[in-house]
Chain A
C-alpha cells in the first residue's frame, strides 16, 4: 500500500512496490488520456530550497498532466524560509494547503526531517549529495521499458563515479535484482567510494569489474550509463586535460558497442556525450527524461491513492 507514504530513499520501496509504480507508469505511457483528471482538485507543493529547473519542471508537468495543480517556491529567498522558518514548520504549514509535497534541499536529510513532521506524503527531489530517489525510479523505469527487464543485465557506469549520487543510488537499487553485472569505468581519482564496493557490490555478491577506457569494455554492455566528469573534481588541470577525452562517448566508441546497447545519462550533459550520437537509436537519454515525468505521474497518483 503506497497511499500516504513518503519517498525519501530509493530503498524505501520494496521491489513489489516499485513494480506497482512502474506498472502504472506503463499504463500511463500507453494511454495518457485516461489519466488527465485523476488528480483533479489535488494540489502538489514544490518546495525547492535550491534551483533545479529540470526536476521541478518534471514534477510540475507530472501533476498538471494528471489534472492536479501546483503551488510552491523555486528558491528560498522568495519564501518564508528567508525569514528563518524551519523545515518542520514549513512542511506543517504547507500540509494545511496541499495534498502532497516535493522537496529539494541543499542539506542532506532535510526531506527526511520534513517527512517526520508531515501529514502529507513527502517526496525527496534531491538532498545535497545524498539521495535523489525519483532519478533512480526514472532510471529503473527506462531500463525496464526499453530492455523489458531489470535483471540479467550488464551495466557500465562511466565518468565521475565518486561524487555521482545518481550512480550510487542506481547501483544500490540494482543490487536487489537478479544476475546484474556492473562495469565501473572511471579515472582512478573518481572511482566509486569504498562503501559501494564493500557494502553493496561485494556484500550482495554482485559481479563487477573496473576499467579505465570505455572502448575496452563497451562491447559487453547492455546499458552504458554516462555521467559528467567535472573539472573541479581534479586536483590539477593537467590531469583533467589528460583524462577528460577518455570519458567522452563518440561515434567511434559507439561502433564497438552491440546494436542493442542503450546509452543513458541523468542530464544535463556537457560534453561527455558527443552530439553526433544523438540520432543513434541507442541514445536513450532524452527518452529517459520523458520516462522521468511518467514515473513521477505514477508516483504522485500512488502516494495520493487516486484511482
Chain B
C-alpha cells in the first residue's frame, strides 16, 4: 500500500469521493502553489470503499466553503503539531460563484459564457439554490 506520511502542520481534506479529488485540487488552485501538497487518489476507505485525500502542509488559509457543495461527505481537519486542532464543519455556502452551472436551458448563462454563474442558497435542508439571472431553482443533488 502507498504510504504518505502524516503532516505536522496544515490541512487534511479527507473522505473525498474517489475521482473528485482532482476537481477539488484544481478548484482550490493547488496546482499553482509553492507549498507542499499531496493528492492521494483511490485510497482504501472502510466507509466509502475508495476515497481521495488531499494533504496540504504548512498552510491553512483556503476557502473551504464550496467543498460542502461539491461533496457533503468531505471532512476537513486542521493539523497543528501532528494533532487535529480543529474539524471544520462543512455546510452549504450562501452564495456560490462559478462552481455550478444553471440547469435551465433558457437561462442567459447557457449562451453567454463570460457571465459569472451566481447562485443563492434558498433552502438549506433541501439543498436548493436560485440562479441570479433566471431564478430557476437548482437542487444540489441534481447538479
Contacts and interface: CB of A to CB of B under 8 A. Distances in A.
Determine if chain A interacts with chain B: yes
Interface of A: 86-88, 105-110, 112-113, 127-130, 195
B132 A107 contact: no
A142 B66 CA distance: 47
B110 interface: yes
B106 A87 contact: no
Interface stretch (B28-36, B50-58, B84-92, B111-119): B111-119
Interface of B: 104, 106-112, 114-115, 131-137
A128 B132 contact: no
A88 B133 contact: no
B108 A112 contact: yes
Contacts of A128: 106, 134
Contacts of A127: 108, 134
A109 B105 CA distance: 12
A87 B112 contact: yes
Contacts, number: 48
A112 B104 contact: no
B133 A113 contact: yes
Given A113-B133, A130-B135, A106 B112 contact: no
Given A86-B112, A86-B114, A113-B112, A106 B106 contact: yes
Contacts of A129: 106
B108 A110 contact: yes
Given A87-B108, A106-B106, A108-B107, A130 B114 contact: no
Contacts of B108: 87, 105, 107-110, 112-113, 127
A108 B104 contact: yes
Contacts of A110: 108, 112
B107 A107 contact: yes
Given A87-B108, A107-B106, A113-B112, 15 more contacts: A87-B112, A107-B107, A107-B108, A107-B110, A108-B104, A108-B106, A108-B107, A108-B136, A109-B109, A110-B108, A112-B133, A113-B115, A113-B133, A127-B134, A129-B106
A109 B107 contact: yes
A128 B106 CA distance: 7
A86 B114 CA distance: 9
Contacts of A86: 112, 114
A184 B111 CA distance: 36
Contacts of B137: 195
B135 A107 contact: no
Contacts of A107: 106-108, 110-112
29 contacts: A86-B114, A88-B115, A105-B108, A106-B106, A107-B106, A107-B110, A107-B112, A108-B106, A108-B108, A108-B133, A108-B134, A108-B135, A108-B136, A109-B107, A109-B109, A109-B131, A109-B133, A110-B108, A110-B112, A112-B133, A113-B112, A113-B115, A113-B133, A127-B134, A128-B106, A128-B134, A129-B106, A130-B134, A195-B137
B112 A88 contact: yes
**10 tightest A-B CB contacts, nearest first:** A109-B133, A108-B134, A109-B108, A107-B108, A109-B134, A110-B108, A128-B106, A108-B106, A112-B133, A113-B108
